[in-house]
Every structure is written in C-alpha cells, then in structure tokens.
C-alpha cells in the first residue's frame, strides 16, 4: 500500500446514497449534484449502478461525459452483464473505475447467493479479471467483510489482488463493527495479505449503530487511505459515513490525525443544502457540521461566551464550512448580552435602562412563543427606544 498520508475521499452520495428511501433523484438533479460533489474536491465519485436501470446507466454515462476532476466509478456485481454495463457507462470519463463486489460472509453466501466459499473465490477471480480487461483501475469489495471469517477474508483479498484489483474496499455493510474491531481487521489484512502494499485499502461504513464515522477514522488510523462516504451521510438504512464529518474531523483534529486530503471545506454547507433540495429530507437540525443547529447558541451562558470569544463554544468556525447564517438564536434561554448584540445588529443601540425594560418584554414574549424572529424583536421596541436611535 502507498506510504502517502493523503486520505482519498470516495463519494457515494449518488450510488449508496441515492439507493436509500426518499433519496431518489431525477437525471438533471444527479448531474447537478455530481458537479457539486466534484467541486467539493472528492477524489472519486461513484455515479451509480448502471445495470440497475436504463435511467441509472444514462446518469452514470452523462456524469462520466460531463464531470471533470474526480475519477468516475460505477458499481457492478461480480456478473458479466453488470461489469459490461459499468464499463460502458464509465468509458467516456477522463478517469474511470469499475467497482465490483461479492458477498463473502458465510451468512450471505448461504442465504443470499447460495454458493460455497470456493465458488465465491472462483467468481471473484474471474470477474475482477474480466473487469480488468475494460479498465485499469478496479476496486473490489467483499460485501459484509466485517462478518466474514477472518482467514477466508485474507484469501479473498489475495485472490482479488492477483486478479488485478487496485483498491480493496472492506465494507462494514451492516454497521456492526466497533472502531477497534474495524481497525483490527485492516491491520490483519495489511500484515498478512501478499501484495497488499501494491493496492489502496478502503473503508466503507454504515451507520446502523451510529459508528460509521468513528469506524472510518479508526480505519484511517489503521492504515486505510480511501474512505467511502456521502453528503449528509445518506445511504442504505441509517446511512453511510458522512463526508462532511470525516473532513471536519481531519481538519479539527489534525494534531492527532496528520493526514492530507483535497476537500474544499467551505463548500460543505452549500453542498449539503443543495442535496436537501433534491431529496425528500434535509440534514437533522442537530446533525454535526451541516445541521441547522450545528453552530446555533440558544442559552444565555453560551451566547455570552461566544460573543466574547467564539472559541469558548465553537471548535471550528461556521464560515470554515461555508455557513454564514445567524448563529445566536434568541429565545427564552437568552441573556441580555445576546439581546443587546442582536438589537445592535438591527440598528438599535439601547442604553442600560432601555435594555433592562426591553429584556422584560422579551422574556414575557419568549415564554409564550417558541421561535422569536427579528420582526418580533422590532415589534417589541417601544416607540421611545426607537426614537432614541
């Protein structure tokens, strides 16, 4: 594996993300989102699953033609028809990749694929080799890697590398792993698989236990140099690791995580907002980095602190991730400092007595009304206070 300390971002918003409920996008929306994701600075963009439908094929092909910057990737099962469709769809791209996968856990082999381990090995060898005839850059994923017998996983990795895989992605398909388990799996593979130094290792985490981002970071610390993630963390079930969270962790905790990456941080918030317009839900308000409350301060103590020095309660500036909105939220928990500050922003510099009187009227209203807007504040100003300005 490369010794570089660059972490490659592989965005799967338009594949794993789009295949989850409420996230279907029209062709034009996918294309616009693909340009936005490319502008975010991701290294790889998984544009879809071409065999899934004519629409998906068409979207992947259009993205491959139009979107410059990231390597354009398409997903394929370990089947001839999938690989051929993926190869055709990504062919127009300046840089392309075929991402092929096959389940390797005994549970999936028996219940889903109804094949033996030996048959799985043969299929992986044959299909990775087939993909290689179309494209130099091949990613192989043993689906359900984290519930795969560890010794069998080593064999699977070895066979995939021998057949031509250039990236090995070991997904935590069902979001089952603890960070320590996930890191241990990668360390084992790095130590024992022949030829592993010539491929890039990749993490792909689902959030069923809320650990997708923690697991991705643990994987990086164990030697992984590609992380698969999505804008707002959309993806199957509870979602994938959130791109913006991984990027923010690498930025804020550079003291412990000395890696580089090419994400353009100020584009994170606008990208999240744009995705929310195309799909049927936005980021949860309390979601890290891009949620509406991620930089909001409602309590008087916090507001006072942040107005004195934002570092008291903010570990990264809202502007650094492209958020430029209001972050002092006025309500019944607010104190006089915050109210005076907002009144000043609205053009009303009240003296001490005026603030005291205003504060009383404000708290009376805030006890009755959940959300206080600027219009409410202006309406609360007495004529004499307005006249004083």
CA atoms in the 13 A half-sphere facing the CB of 255: 2
Task: Convert residues 198-227 into a mask of x (bound to ligand KIV by CB under 6 A) and - (unbound).
Answer: ------x-x---------------------
CA 194-149-106 angle, to 5 degrees, is 125
Work out what residue 141 binds among Zn ion, ligand KIV, none; the CB cut-off runs from 5 to 8 Å by kind: ligand KIV
CB of 172 to ligand KIV, least distance (A): 8
Could you tell me how many residues of this chain bind ligand KIV (CB under 6 A)? Answer: 9
Work out what residue 354 binds among Zn ion, ligand KIV, none; the CB cut-off runs from 5 to 8 Å by kind: none
In this structure, what is the dihedral angle of CA atoms 64, 65, 69, 75, given to the nearest 10 degrees? 0
Residue 77 DSSP one-character state: E
Closer Cβ to ligand KIV, 100 or 334, answer by number: 100
CB of 47 to Zn ion, least distance (A): 15
CB of 77 to ligand KIV, least distance (A): 9
Closer Cβ to ligand KIV, 108 or 302, answer by number: 108
CB of 4 to ligand KIV, least distance (A): 23
Query: For the stretch 221-245, what's the b/e string if a residue is b when 16 or more beta carbons lie within 10 angstroms of its beta carbon?
Result: ebbbbbbbbbbbbbbbeebbbbbbb
Q: Establish if 233 lies at the interface with ligand KIV (CB under 6 A).
A: no
Task: Convert residues 81-110 into a mask of x (bound to ligand KIV by CB under 6 A) and - (unbound).
Answer: --------------------x---------
CB of 15 to Zn ion, least distance (A): 8
Closer Cβ to ligand KIV, 204 or 337, answer by number: 204
Contact 100, 139 (CB under 8 A): yes
CA 132/CA 124 separation, integer angstroms: 12
Work out what residue 101 binds among ligand KIV, Zn ion, none; the CB cut-off runs from 5 to 8 Å by kind: ligand KIV
Work out what residue 62 binds among ligand KIV, Zn ion, none; the CB cut-off runs from 5 to 8 Å by kind: none
Q: Establish if 11 lies at the interface with ligand KIV (CB under 6 A).
A: no
CA 11-208-46 angle, to 5 degrees, is 15
Long-range contacts (CB closer than 8 Å, 24 or more residues apart) made by 318-322: 318/269, 318/294, 319/266, 320/251, 320/265, 320/266, 321/244, 321/248, 321/265, 321/266, 321/268, 321/269, 321/289, 321/290, 322/265, 322/266, 322/267, 322/268, 322/269, 322/270
Tokens of 353: 């007595």
The neighbouring-strand residues paired with 205 are 172
Short-list 196, 116, 127, 136, CA closest to 163: 127
Please identify, among the stretches 107-115, 155-163, 169-177, 280-288, the one whose residues bind ligand KIV according to the rule CB under 6 A: 169-177
CA 42/CA 227 separation, integer angstroms: 10
Closer Cβ to Zn ion, 14 or 306, answer by number: 14
Using CB under 6 A, which of 18, 46, 143, 245 touches ligand KIV? 143
CA 169/CA 141 separation, integer angstroms: 5
Using CB under 5 A, which of 16, 18, 43, 143 touches Zn ion? 16
Using CB under 6 A, which of 59, 141, 167, 232 touches ligand KIV? 141
Closer Cβ to ligand KIV, 82 or 143, answer by number: 143
List binders of Zn ion among 114-153 (CB under 5 A): none
Tokens of 57: 């094929």
Work out what residue 244 binds among ligand KIV, Zn ion, none; the CB cut-off runs from 5 to 8 Å by kind: none
48 to 19, 45, 61, 269: CA distances (angstroms): 9, 9, 9, 23
Please identify, among the stretches 35-43, 168-176, 269-277, 358-366, the one whose residues bind ligand KIV according to the rule CB under 6 A: 168-176
Q: Which residues bind Zn ion (CB under 5 A)?
A: 16
Q: Which residues bind ligand KIV (CB under 6 A)?
A: 16, 101, 141, 143, 169, 171, 173, 204, 206
């Amino acid at each position: 594996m490369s010794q570089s300390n660059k972490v490659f971002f592989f965005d799967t918003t338009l594949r794993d993300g789009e295949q989850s409920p409420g996230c279907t996008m029209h062709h034009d929306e996918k294309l616009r989102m693909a340009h936005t994701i490319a502008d975010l600075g991701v290294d790889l963009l998984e544009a879809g699953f071409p065999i899934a439908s004519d629409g998906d094929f068409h979207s992947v092909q259009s993205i491959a033609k139009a979107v410059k910057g990231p390597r354009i990737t398409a997903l394929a099962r370990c089947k001839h028809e999938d690989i051929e469709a993926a190869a055709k769809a990504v062919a127009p791209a300046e840089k392309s990749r075929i991402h092929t996968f096959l389940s390797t856990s005994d549970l999936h082999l028996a219940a889903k694929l109804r094949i033996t381990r030996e048959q799985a090995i043969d299929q992986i060898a044959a299909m990775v080799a087939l993909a290689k005839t179309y494209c130099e850059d091949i990613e192989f994923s043993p689906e359900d890697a984290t519930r795969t017998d560890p010794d069998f996983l080593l064999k699977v990795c070895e066979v995939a590398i021998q057949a031509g895989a250039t990236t090995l992605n070991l997904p935590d398909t069902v979001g089952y792993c603890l960070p320590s388990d996930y890191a241990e799996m990668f360390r084992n593979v790095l130590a024992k698989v022949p030829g592993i130094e010539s491929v890039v290792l990749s993490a792909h985490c689902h959030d069923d236990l809320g650990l997708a981002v923690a697991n991705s970071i643990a994987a990086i610390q164990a030697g992984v140099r590609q992380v698969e993630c999505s804008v707002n963390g959309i993806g199957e079930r509870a979602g994938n690791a959130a791109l913006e969270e991984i990027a923010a962790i690498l930025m804020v905790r550079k003291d412990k995580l000395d890696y580089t990456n090419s994400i353009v941080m100020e584009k994170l918030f606008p990208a999240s907002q744009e995705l929310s317009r195309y799909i049927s839900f936005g980021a949860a308000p309390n979601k890290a980095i891009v949620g509406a409350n991620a930089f909001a301060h409602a309590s008087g103590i916090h507001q006072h602190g942040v107005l004195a020095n934002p570092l008291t309660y903010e570990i990264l500036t809202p502007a650094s991730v492209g958020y430029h909105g209001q972050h002092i939220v006025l309500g019944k928990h607010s104190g006089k400092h915050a109210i005076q500050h907002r009144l000043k922003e609205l053009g009303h510099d009240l003296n001490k007595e005026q603030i005291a009187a205003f504060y009383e009227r404000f708290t009376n209203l805030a006890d009755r009304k959940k959300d206080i807007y600027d219009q409410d504040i202006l309406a609360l100003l007495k004529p004499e206070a307005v006249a004083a300005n």
